[in-house]
Chains A and B, each alone.
Chain A
Amino acid sequence: MTPEEAVMTQESDASMPDVAQSGVSGPGVSESGAVVDGMTSPGPRIDVSGAAMGHTRADTQTVFRCDDIHVYYTDFLALRDVSLDIAAHEVTAFIGPSGCGKTTFLRCFNRMNDLIEGARVEGSINYHGVELYQDEVDPVEVRRRVGMVFQKPNPFPKSIYDNIAYGPRLAGAKRSELDDIVERSLTRAALWDEVRDRLKTSAYGLSGGQQQRLCIARAIAVQPDVVLMDEPCSALDPIATGRIEELIAELKTEYTILIVTHNMQQAARISDMTAFFSVQANEMGQRTGELVEYAPTSLIFTNPEDPRTEAYITGRVG
């Protein structure tokens, strides 16, 4: 893989989160009832037992089981009827054209959509046997267990040390444990050697790629089970992108990783499973995302079932 390939052309709006694009609420949004009616049929249910790949994965455990997920922004349907299972210790990539709801979907897994005014998730996400969307579940604790890395590196305006220590402190880590947690997290994020001598300096002094690895270290410092990554490399140069990809490959031994990417080569390089989303506009121009195909990555890139997937990965659409 050469750097040139790694920076496959991003869409021009790559810096905007998908939620902003799909969360459009304009006049006429409330009249989308007709669309909602037409989509009650269950989406494709995909088994992740790995049979399709020709080998068995007896050790595979299901982390998330999603059933009939619909996401609305106020009255506007952003994502329609997604059902799929996420396997532990795998990298699952969500790909698709912009506005297809992949970021919206990703943010369902740690209830980040709760923070958006008017956002509503319907359907079920079962996390290790516990329904995530029930009143008894506190999104705060969900987000500790399901960490997140964002599109643009977003370190806190604090020292490198305090960036990492922030989460553990909230979770009640003792002072004496913090040094250890910080070192382990930074080591795991392959950043320790670069910053060990300047832990007390501002995180803003780091390069973009270092900042993003810091954000990964910050996410794993609270000992999550899953790490969500929303286009983590879209703001980075090819070399930094390469380092993050290596890191992702290492991290999956301990964590389950869900990653949204615009970059199909990236999905092909790092993921075990790939979900391809597409977008359909209704007659009023409202764009609703849907899951088209979910399969082992090797399969989806070599032998996609759905013609829309094929069109997308061969570059004819999107």
Chain B
Amino acid sequence: MTVLTTPAGIATGAADALRKRPGADVAGSAFKWLLIGATVFATGFLAVLLAVMIVDGWDVLSGNLWYFLTHGFSQRSAGEAGVWQGILGSLQVALVTGVFAIPTGVATAIYLVEYAQGNRFARIVELNIRNLAGVPSIVYGLLGLAVFAQTLRGFSGGTTAIAGGMTLAAMVLPIVVITSVEALKAVPDSLREAAYGVGATKWEVLSRQVLPAALSTILTGTVLALARALGEAAPLILVGAATGFMSFGDANVFETFTGPYTALPVLIFNFARQPGADWGVNAAAASVIILVLVLAVNGLAIYLRNRFEKQW
């Protein structure tokens, strides 16, 4: 570059310097495309995953889907095996999970945000929740096996959908608490003050103003938590879902809560570990079913959140 001395020189030089030169920022473009590549890889494998599962499971999905959905597990041959026990079992487990996790989690969040900001007990609870969130899922299985299935056998009936549901409830509890805390913190204080200002008690402020205002976000969080539970297999394996198969026999649907049970992801695991390509078809077909279920529930939750997102 020449040294510019006169104003005129600066002017012409500047005009040149400011002109965009082709290929000047090769490194920049390369970097950007590298990043786009990483992003496509990170998000695009879902499409690959879905495509592979559909292709692999096509024999079942195209011809036998109804049979597959309405028949139980069979050890005899892959062609005779179906997944209804897994689907119903997953719904039962999710129901129990919701019954235990949602009230406890939301109430804990309310306590943390509305009652105990910063006191010692609240700090312990917060630290505890953060640590629980990182505990591997299979460790919850140990809790379920030792406590919910054995110590509380009288309540849960042993390794049943109730014990499995309680296990997953413990596992998703931190998610419910954390999302509910966020939701409650997003409710502006002006709303609380307004309610206090006309003579509401704390409970009235919470139940009639704060909770309704936070409800849609809390619901989204709990739906996401239940979706997580729906796809989880590891803890349930320890709580007996891999070896038990629900059978109606003389029982009605309520009694099956306290009998042997299984869940869809555990069933997929069972398909996957059977030798033989035809079992692989079942595993892939069942994977498509669970992917559709989980993605649908998640998509719904995310849609609801974006839909009801409040601007205060």
Report A's interface with B, CB cutoff 8 A: 110, 112, 115, 117, 140-145, 147-150, 152, 154-157, 166-167, 170-171, 215, 218-219, 221-222
Our pick among B196, B198, B213 for the contact of A218 (Cβ within 8 Å) is B198
Give complex CA distance A218, B191 in Å.
13
Pairwise interchain contact B199-A143, C-beta atoms closer than 8 A = yes
Nearest-neighbour CB distance to chain B for A267, whole angstroms, equals 22
Do residues B196 and A112 form an inter-chain contact, with CB atoms below 8 A?
Answer: yes
Residues in A whose Cβ lies below 8 Å from that of B192 = 115
Q: Please tell me if the beta carbons of B209 and A156 are within 8 angstroms of each other in the complex.
A: yes
Most central of B190, B194, B197, B213 by chain A CB within 10 Å: B197
Known A-B contacts A112-B196, A115-B196; the reply to A140 vs B201 at CB < 8 A is yes
Smallest beta-carbon distance A30→chain B, Å = 17
Q: How large is the interface on B (under 10, 10 to 19, 20 to 34, 35 or more residues)?
A: 20 to 34
Interchain CA distance A296-B198 in the complex, whole Å: 29
Q: Is B123 an interface position by the 8 A CB rule? A: no
* Cα–Cα distance between A155 and B209 once the two chains are bound (Å): 11
Given A115-B192, A140-B201, A143-B200, 6 additional A-B pairs, CB 8 A: A117-B117, A143-B198, A147-B197, A147-B198, A150-B190, A154-B194
Which residues of B lie under 8 Å from residue A215 when comparing CB positions?
194
Q: Please state if A144 and B117 are interface contacts (CB–CB under 8 Å).
A: no
- Are B198 and A144 closer than 8 Å at their CB atoms? yes
CA distance A171 to B195 in the complex (A): 12
Give the interface of B toward A (CB within 8 A): 117-118, 188, 190-201, 204, 208-209, 212-213, 310
Residue pairs across A and B with CB atoms within 8 Å: the count is 68
Task: Tell me, in angstroms, the Cα distance from A219 to B199 when the chains sit together.
Answer: 9
Beta-carbon contact of A110 and B197 below 8 Å:
yes
Complex Cα spacing A121 to B71, Å: 71
By a CB distance below 8 angstroms, the chain B residues around A141 are 199
For chain B, what secondary structure do more than half of its interface residues adopt (helix, strand, loop), or is it mixed? Answer: helix
Pick the contact of A150 from B118, B193, B204 — CB < 8 Å?
B193
Instruction: For B197, list chain A residues within 8 Å (CB).
Output: 110, 112, 143, 147-150, 219
Question: Least Cβ distance of A127 to chain B in Å?
Answer: 14
CB contact under 8 A between A112 and B193, given known A117-B117, A170-B204: yes
Q: Judging by beta carbons under 8 Å apart, are A155 and B199 in contact?
A: no
The complex places the Cα of A218 from the Cα of B188 at a distance, in Å, of 19
Query: Bound state CA distance, A85 and B192, in angstroms?
Result: 29
Asked whether B190 lies within 8 Å of A140 as measured between CB atoms, the reply is no
Residue of B193, B196, B198 near A222 (CB, 8 A) is: B198
Q: Please measure, in the bound complex, the distance between the C-alpha atom of A112 and the C-alpha atom of B199, giving whole angstroms.
A: 10
B118 touches A166 (CB 8 A): no
Q: In the docked arrangement, what's the CA distance between A157 and B198, Å?
A: 16
B191 touches A170 (CB 8 A): no
Please list the 10 inter-chain residue pairs (A to B) with the smallest Cβ-Cβ separation, ordered nearest first: A144-B199, A167-B198, A154-B190, A148-B197, A154-B194, A143-B199, A140-B201, A222-B198, A170-B200, A140-B199
Q: Which residues of B contact A117 (CB under 8 A)?
A: 117-118
* Chain A neighbourhood of B201, CB < 8 A: 140, 170
Cβ distance B119 to chain A, nearest Cβ, rounded Å: 9
Residues of A within 8 A of B191 (CB): 154, 156-157
Closest-by-CB residue of B relative to A142 is B199
**Least Cβ–Cβ distance between A268 and chain B, in angstroms:** 27
Please state if A222 and B199 are interface contacts (CB–CB under 8 Å). Answer: yes
- Alpha-carbon separation in the docked complex, A155 to B199 (Å): 15
Shortest distance between the CB of A225 and any CB in chain B (Å) = 12
Sampled A-B contacts (24; CB under 8 Å): A117-B118, A140-B196, A140-B201, A142-B199, A143-B196, A143-B197, A143-B198, A143-B199, A145-B199, A148-B193, A149-B197, A154-B188, A154-B193, A154-B194, A156-B194, A156-B195, A156-B209, A157-B310, A166-B198, A166-B200, A166-B208, A170-B198, A170-B199, A171-B199
